[in-house]
Amino acid sequence: IPSEIVKLEKLRKLLLDNNNFRFGASDSEPIPFPTVIFSMTGLTELSLAKCEIAVALPSIIGNLESLTTLNLNDNEIIGNLPKEIGNLKNIEELTIDDNSFVGGIPTTIGQLTSITKLKMHRNFFDGAIPSEFGNLQILKDLTLFGNSLTSLP
């Protein structure tokens, strides 16, 4: 993804699904996540589903505070879900299913009070579901199956 994309200041939707970016999939050296995307703070919709992403989601994901929709499903994203995900205060739909996220679900998920759809199934999340889920008063669609979660709040 060229760095010049940040010059598209009026761009609100960036949909790049079903491409073979293969971030992190190089045999010789990991290809980093395209951090240029995270400086596009005017985006309201970002979708990188099925793009063969095999690196960790950087904490600068929290810079995209205008996002209402984030779709990263069906990749191989590794590591913990960054706590900065809680900065996405306007997010209505967060789809991160079918990845390789590990560890506990960050408690900052409870800051996503505009969210109506949260799909986190088929990852490797473990531990208790955070009690902060109780803050998600308008949540209508929640999928958590296929993880190693141990208890409900």
* pLDDT tens track for 58-110: 999 999 999 999 999 999 999 999 999 999 999 999 999 999 999 999 999 99
Q: Which residue has the tokens 């958590």?
A: 144
Supply the CATH number for residue 130's domain.
3.80.10.10
Residue 96 structure tokens: 């991160």
Distance between CA atoms of 47 and 58, rounded to whole angstroms? 16
Residue 49 phi/psi, 5-degree rounding, is -75, 145
103 secondary structure, DSSP code: E
Distances (CA, A) of 141 to 69, 118, 137: 14, 6, 12
Which residues span the domain enclosing 44?
Answer: 3-151
* pLDDT tens track for 122-145: 999 999 999 999 999 999 999 999
Residue 42 phi/psi, 5-degree rounding, is -85, -5
Q: What 3-state class would DSSP assign to 6?
A: helix
C-alpha dihedral (119, 35, 107, 125), degrees to nearest 10 = 50
Model confidence at 30: pLDDT above 70:
no
pTM of the model: 0.92
Look at the chain and report how many structural domains it folds into: 1
